[in-house]
Chain A
């Protein structure tokens, strides 16, 4: 057995070595497909919901999320108790918030992530503690001695895994927000009371260094805010918990929704919000769902590429069949059974796949790191995972063996048809079922992937072309930090005006700055303030608008298009600018200059506002995101966070230099936090869409290349298998051009079923993906039609060389008897 395997391995080596470039290409294609598969499987494994490790009865652990506008919201400390009380199926509810802390001890120090947890974390969730104890209820008292439980990793790295760590102390500092930004506040000596088991990871994200009691630290952190009882009012916790295990997640979820969603006294989110319960711990379930959906799409894509690669390997091995028929016949004549010959062919395929698998595992680790940086995976809640996870290696091995079986099937089938008695007088092997099915299938797959890629390309192009209502060219945004309080109660409109005037005067001398404006948010920014508007034209129905702090320069710098009226002069807080759609919503028409309506005002602001101008609609965020209508006021309560907007030809770096000069000369009092070009910011907004397009493009190019190589291989096979037929035709007077046409016609005939099937399949794929991933305005017909034409061109190109070879082969040699 071993001897026969050895013989087959030696033979496989000789066969593959005979055409090294082709063999290398096949191995690279297989390795690339398997490497992507390994990477995406690892990503999927580390992102999918899974019972957290290191906890008792981990299947009972859940995340309870409150979703508003598609984003999970934090809850306050008392609301965690409301959650606990809202369902009898809930054994415990725990609040958790992650924060950076600075630690030091014995001359060592660092900045690490920590989890601040509420009372029930250790008692309710029951993580395994390796040394010492977890946090106890008494540790959560505001005046309790500060204590910490270290993570296993932090303990090993910083304390060398010493068991006497319990009882030692760390000096800890936490970040404290203040009027001029944040500062680090010393908490004091924190006593280490335990070390977590190695399998317990951070509840969210990749790792944490320590678990700390939340209540005392939150009180300390916000002590300087001057807001009474802020520790209980600020919504900074995410909720995780444990069910009793006796009820389904759905019933617990229904019970929680009944008590916590809507207009009730205990409601945490309004009726338009959502509450969802997910198994395990997940920081952002909607985002994770979206990321898993992306991964499923990419996994599907990769499996299709792998399938195409396997088919190609089969077609490649098959392309050698005419040349090897005689070899196989001789082996059979010498006593080899069909089974024995099949074994040899299997070994030849397995050798390809094993080499590719090893190469794939080597490539997968760096590839995995690269894929994690894709924009649509940023902020993903990855768990710690490895490509060498036995499950992943197992799946890969099964996939690789299946690929080997697929690729070995074709030559074995051909060998079964040929042998000692056939071949010598035949003019050539007709195309096998595998070749036909394989060629058709890979053309269909290439058609689907190409159509989807074209759809994504069209969408990415449309996004960049779309009129967002503002100019992106030559606009630079400065994010300043003004030395003023962040609380609106301490900022007057006069203060804002005065600050804007000072900046304007300071920058006035810089001739490269053509226009200057102030405002918040700017397009592409995440900051938003929503307020209600009482629209009396619709009988008091309230609509939500997004309030934009802006001066007259905001409109001109960004090129906002005024349809009616004019931007208000400074100093008139009751005059506002509204978008056309808000005008339509409130008054049913666009020309509403001079009309008045009431807003839900912040303290100190006038409730009645008069429309000074109506502008064309503006899209501040992603062009396809839902956005409340915009209301442009002179200053929102957060106007002290105003961005400075410049119309200039200077690069952001030059702008920074110019402003830094003014700061250093004393003409300007601010710190520069960031400077960026608006068009670059726009590219960041659509980065996910562009990345999706690029990844799909890589898959499409790979699939098309593989399909073209496979088609070329099949044509080569046909050219070799039909040499004698073509020689006969040549002998009776067929010209090279007639033979070339015949070969091309046969290629078209071979590819046509694939092309015909690809069109409806691609159409279905595009239609299925269109609502979420392909919101393009282009018709599916255009995408599918273009993909079909592109594929036809590629396939014809792949058929050219074999057709030319068939047409120009010297006939004499092939007309003689074998």
Chain B
């Protein structure tokens, strides 16, 4: 594992248990992603793509194996440290945007800095405004998310993902709820992020978008089958 390795997973398992059933959502995943990588994970529904993204994004625990994020052994840190790591190292882009309806677009984008601490309210909002400018939403800063189109909401979500200068962007079906035109704009935006040195890991069903990635990883039944 080199210094530029952001994600290093060895034999990671994630098992869902019920009274009568045990499902291996991740059945021994080995994955290494370096800074600047653009990785696309592909696979059929239910193969474990979203679970893998959740585990990588520290939204979900894993049961077995080893996982280091930016050199930090995730299995050994507490919830508070995980939250700190998530805040500093990861930016999420979800299929359903996941903006908070009660807040303005500007406040939504600024929120990660609020949780990071060390930024004044003005600094938070200034930086959020600058990012909205970058994604072409400066006019919509004071709107509520439900006043925006799907594409606009997703651009706001990308701005929010970027505001903390994370080392990794995780995008789970980022165009799943968008029409073709908006989907293309979002993917162009993500491509431009990679061009600027951001590490991007996406899950997508769209082969055209998957082909944009530098590296395409196939997944089946909780296992990574290797790069294509």
The chain A residues found within 8 Å of chain B, CB to CB, are 425-427, 430, 724-725, 727-738, 808, 810-812, 815-817
Contact = CB atoms under 8 A, between A and B. Distances in A.
Contact of B115 (A430, A725, A735, A810): A735
B111 A731 contact: no
Contacts of A727: 59, 98
B222 interface: no
Contacts of B92: 731-732, 815
A736 B116 contact: no
Interface string B86-112: 111011101110111110000000011
B121 interface: no
A738 B79 CA distance: 12
B176 interface: yes
A730 B98 contact: no
A725 B83 CA distance: 16
Contact of A817 (B61, B99, B177): B177
A635 to B, nearest CB: 84
10 contacts: A732-B92, A732-B160, A734-B83, A736-B80, A738-B115, A808-B79, A811-B60, A812-B59, A815-B94, A816-B96
Interface in B62-96: 79-80, 83-84, 86-88, 90-92, 94-96
Contacts of B94: 731, 815
B182 interface: no
Contacts of A430: 102
Contacts of A730: 59, 83, 86
Contacts of A731: 57, 59, 86, 92, 94, 98
B79 A736 contact: yes
Interface string B167-178: 000000000110
A638 B199 CA distance: 106
Interface string B149-175: 000000000001000100000000000
A812 B60 contact: yes
A815 B101 contact: no
B111 A810 contact: no
B54 interface: yes
Contacts of B218: none
The listed residue with most A CB atoms (<10 A of its CB), out of B50, B57, B115, B176, is: B115
B42 to A, nearest CB: 18
B100 A725 contact: yes
B59 A732 contact: no
A725 B92 CA distance: 14
A729 B87 CA distance: 10
A735 B98 contact: no
Contact of B86 (A425, A725, A732, A817): A732
A518 to B, nearest CB: 78
Contacts of B95: 816-817
A810 B82 CA distance: 13
A262 to B, nearest CB: 75
Given A427-B101, A738-B115, 12 more contacts: A731-B94, A732-B112, A733-B86, A735-B80, A735-B115, A737-B80, A808-B79, A810-B59, A812-B54, A812-B60, A815-B59, A815-B94
Contacts of B112: 732-733
A731 B161 CA distance: 10
Contacts of A738: 83, 115
Contacts of A735: 79-80, 83-84, 115
A724 B61 CA distance: 18
Nearest to A739: B83
B96 A733 contact: no
B87 A728 contact: no
A442 to B, nearest CB: 25
Contact of B87 (A733, A736, A816): A733
Nearest to A724: B98
A810 B91 CA distance: 18
Closest 3 CB pairs of A and B: A733-B87, A735-B83, A812-B54
Interface residues of B, number: 33
B82 to A, nearest CB: 8
A101 to B, nearest CB: 75
Contacts of A808: 79
Contacts of B87: 732-734
A217 to B, nearest CB: 83
Contacts of A734: 83, 87, 115
B78 to A, nearest CB: 9
B61 to A, nearest CB: 8
A25 B60 CA distance: 35
Nearest to A816: B50
A817 B83 contact: no
B104 to A, nearest CB: 15
Contact of A728 (B80, B84, B98): B98
A519 to B, nearest CB: 75
A817 B177 CA distance: 10
A733 B164 contact: yes
A725 B102 CA distance: 10
B84 A733 contact: yes
A731 B164 CA distance: 13
A811 B96 contact: no
Contacts of B91: 732
Contacts of A816: 50, 95-96
Contacts of B83: 730, 733-736, 738
Contacts of A725: 100, 102
B176 A733 contact: no
A816 B101 CA distance: 16
A319 to B, nearest CB: 20
Contacts of A729: 100, 111, 115
A426 B86 contact: no
Nearest to B55: A812
Contacts of A737: 80
Nearest to A732: B112
Given A735-B115, A817-B177, A728 B100 contact: yes
Nearest to B116: A733
A199 to B, nearest CB: 66
Contacts of B50: 812, 816
Contacts of A812: 50-51, 54, 59-60
A811 B61 CA distance: 11
A732 B90 CA distance: 8
Nearest to A731: B92
Nearest to A424: B96
Contacts of A810: 59-61
Give the most central of B54, B80, B88, B176: most A CB within 10 Å.
B54
A817 B88 contact: no
B83 to A, nearest CB: 4
Contacts of B111: 729, 732
Contacts of A728: 98-100
Nearest to A737: B80
B176 A817 contact: yes
A102 to B, nearest CB: 75
A815 B60 contact: no
A426 B100 contact: no
A425, A430, A737, most chain B CB atoms within 10 A:
A425
A816 B60 CA distance: 13
Nearest to A808: B79
A59 to B, nearest CB: 64
A732 B101 CA distance: 16
A817 B54 CA distance: 14
A813 to B, nearest CB: 8
A816 B59 CA distance: 12
Q: Among B61, B96, B102, which residue has the most Cβ atoms of chain A within 10 A?
A: B96
A335 to B, nearest CB: 28
Most A-side CB within 10 Å, residue of B51, B88, B92? B92
Contact of A815 (B79, B98, B102): B98
A810 B160 CA distance: 21
A730 B98 CA distance: 12
A725 B107 CA distance: 14
A685 B115 CA distance: 63
A238 B13 CA distance: 92
A729 B99 CA distance: 10
